[in-house]
């Protein structure tokens, strides 16, 4: 075997042994005063994609989003709305152009999402399970 081939095999082996990032469970949260106890992933997607502005039992739904480019945001939209970051950007551009719906309010961090939801009974957000506390109520686990 020549040195080039050996080097290639070593690099390929190293790539296979490299740790794969594991995402923790995401949880969708609402304010504890919100009567909603559970939503399906599709219902959450409908709210975040601007297809509905209310919870199934009534009452306004105000989605809180992480900033574009955040890994947790990308994971959320991929798993819940089945949209890649590029697809989501195109979808939002089309919505804005047509005036169909405004995008969710964006905040900078998971702590900001939790804080926004804890202070607004109509808010809905998503956070990493590790950030869950009693100031908010979990209504969906996303794996």
Q: Are 137 and 29 in contact (CB under 8 A)?
A: yes
Q: What is the pLDDT of residues 85-142, one digit of tens each?
A: 999 999 999 998 888 788 999 999 999 999 999 999 999 999 999 999 999 999 999 9
Task: Return the sign of the alpha-carbon dihedral for residues 40, 75, 102, 51.
Answer: negative
Integer Cα distance of 131 and 98 in angstroms: 36
Domains recognised in the chain with CATH numbers:
23-142 (3.40.190.10)
Q: What pLDDT shows up at residue 9?
A: 47
Q: What pLDDT shows up at residue 17?
A: 46
Q: What pLDDT shows up at residue 100?
A: 79
Q: Which helix (H) or strand (E) holds 94?
A: helix 85-98
Q: What is the pLDDT of residues 45-87, one digit of tens each?
A: 999 999 999 999 889 999 999 999 999 999 999 999 999 999 9
The reported pTM is 0.82
Integer Cα distance of 135 and 143 in angstroms: 22
Within a 13 Å sphere around the CA of 80, how many CA atoms are in the beta-carbon half? 26
């Amino acid at each position: 075997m020549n040195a080039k081939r050996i080097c290639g095999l070593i690099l390929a082996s190293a790539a296979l042994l490299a740790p794969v990032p594991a995402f923790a469970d995401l949880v969708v949260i609402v304010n504890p005063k919100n009567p909603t106890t559970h939503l399906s992933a599709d219902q959450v997607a409908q709210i975040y994609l601007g297809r509905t502005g209310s919870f199934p039992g009534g009452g306004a739904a105000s989605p809180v989003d992480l900033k574009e480019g955040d890994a947790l945001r990308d994971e959320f939209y991929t798993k819940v709305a089945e949209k890649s970051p590029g697809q989501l950007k195109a979808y939002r551009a089309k919505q804005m152009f047509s005036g169909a719906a405004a995008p969710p309010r964006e905040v900078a961090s998971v702590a900001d999402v939790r804080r926004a939801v804890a202070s607004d009974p109509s808010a809905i957000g998503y956070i990493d399970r590790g950030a869950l506390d009693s100031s908010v109520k979990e209504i969906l686990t996303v794996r």
